[in-house]
Every structure is written in structure tokens, then in C-alpha cells.
Amino acid sequence: MQAPGRPLRILIADDHPPTRHELRQDLERGGLEVCAETATGDEAIAAALRERPDLCLFDIQMPGDGMAAVTAIRSALPSTKIILMTATPDEAGVLAAVRAGADGYLAKDVDPRRLPHIVRVVVGGETSYPRRLLGTVLRSLRVGG
């Protein structure tokens, strides 16, 4: 959990170095601290256990099974929030993120000025899912999907 006066600590996990670099810049410009960067699910788990970040920002398609990493981190560090990012948001991805226990699901082309705000909202206890996709997912769950 975040100590008073300390910036939120974020772990970035994405196998594409330029994407990690852009995310780091966007987060740091917003006053957040990137405590670790990793390229695979296994590296993300190890870094999360070592760094105990406030939030993990994961590429849903990274090597080493990003969804398994979400499940492992959620189990070991229940207070750490998790946002999954994807280049191609869709209903199946939202449903998989919800089932894995992610606190959010974002398109990688999210406005970089909004990203720090979204992170703060999620760390504060809310979720962040695209409204246009969430409605379809909720309807499918009601039907028994």
C-alpha cells in the first residue's frame, strides 16, 4: 500500500521496448514512479514480488502468459492493482481480464495525458474498463456466459 507522500509505484510489463519507454515517460510526466520494467510474464511476477508495486501495467499478449502472471500476482499481492493493455481491445479480452482479476483493461493508444489519472483512479479502488465493450460483457455474463 502507498505510504503518504510517496509517489505511486508502477511496474510495466511489455515485450516491446519502445512501448515500455513511452509508458514510462507518460507515467513519470504524471508524477508516478516506475519501479520496474519487464518483458515477460515470468519476469513480471518476479519483479512484482521483489518491488511490491502499487499497480502493474501489463501487455495482455506478452510472452510468458500475461494472464497467468495476473493470476499469480493477484494471489501473492492482493493489494497490488493490475491494468491490462492491448493493441486490439475486444469483448473477449475484457472478459478474460475480468475473470483473471484485473482492475482495468485499456487500449495501448490511450491518451498519454489520461494514463496517470487512470492509474490513480484504479489504485484508489475503482476499475477502468472501456464502456463500449463492458456492456456486451456484462450482458453475456447475465445470460450465463
Digit-coded pLDDT (tens) for 25-47? 999 999 999 999 999 999 999 99
Helices (H), the chain: 17-29, 41-51, 66-76, 91-100, 115-123, 131-143
Domain boundaries, the chain: 9-143
Q: pLDDT tens, 42-84?
A: 999 999 999 999 999 999 888 877 788 999 999 999 999 999 9
Q: How far apart are CA 39 and CA 12, in angstroms?
A: 8
What are the distances in angstroms from CA 20 to CA 62, 80, 98?
Answer: 12, 19, 23
pLDDT value, residue 34? 98
Task: Return the CATH fold of 9-143.
Answer: Rossmann fold (3.40.50)
Distances (CA, A) of 43 to 50, 53, 92, 136: 11, 14, 25, 33
Instruction: Look at the block and give the residue holding cell 450465463.
Output: 144
Closest among 140, 118, 120, 141 to 130, alpha carbons compared: 118
